[in-house]
């Protein structure tokens, strides 16, 4: 398991919390498959993870646009940077199928990023979106 749901900061918007919990489920399944060296399962879960990242980020970006969130560009910029890293990692994965490389990224990059991103950007966005409903 890469991270527990309890480690996720909660924000003031139920749908965003659900998006984050679903992502934790998926990334944990990817992580566990990599740890076991189950390449086939990891391959499948990596694709699910990519689709989930797209859904997670674009849902938040839609919410920000609809509520005219003042820091849209900065929050979206954070998403874009992480998305680029994940797509680059996926390209490397397709070539090398090296579980260690992906495990290292998830532990040292993605996990701390997600926790910090939620507490810094999603929490602020959730409060703003909540105010406009």
Which residues in this chain contact Fe ion in the complex, by CB under 5 A? 60, 122
Report the residue number, 2 or 33, with the smaller CB distance to Fe ion: 2
> Nearest-CB residue to Fe ion?
122
Minimal distance in Å, beta carbon 115 to Fe ion? Answer: 11
Give the nearer residue to Fe ion in terms of CB position, either 52 or 60: 60
**Least CB distance to Fe ion at residue 100 (A):** 27
Nearest to 72 by CA among 84, 61, 83, 82: 61
CA distance 104 to 96: 14
Q: Taking the complex as a whole, how short is the minimal distance between the CB of residue 122 and Fe ion, in angstroms?
A: 4
Q: Toward Fe ion, which CB reaches closer, 73 or 98? A: 73
Least spacing, CB of residue 38 vs Fe ion, in Å? 28
């Amino acid at each position: 398991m890469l991270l527990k749901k309890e480690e996720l900061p909660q924000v003031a918007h139920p749908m965003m919390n659900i998006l984050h919990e679903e992502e934790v489920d998926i990334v944990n399944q990817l992580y566990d498959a990599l740890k076991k060296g189950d390449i086939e399962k990891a391959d499948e879960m990596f694709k699910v993870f990519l689709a989930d990242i797209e859904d997670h980020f674009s849902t938040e970006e839609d919410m920000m646009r609809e509520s005219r969130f003042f820091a849209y560009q900065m929050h979206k910029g954070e998403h874009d940077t992480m998305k680029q890293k994940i797509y680059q990692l996926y390209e490397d994965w397709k070539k090398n199928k090296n579980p260690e490389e992906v495990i290292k990224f998830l532990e040292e990059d993605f996990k701390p990023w997600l926790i910090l991103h939620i507490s810094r950007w999603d929490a602020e966005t959730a409060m703003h979106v909540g105010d406009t409903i």
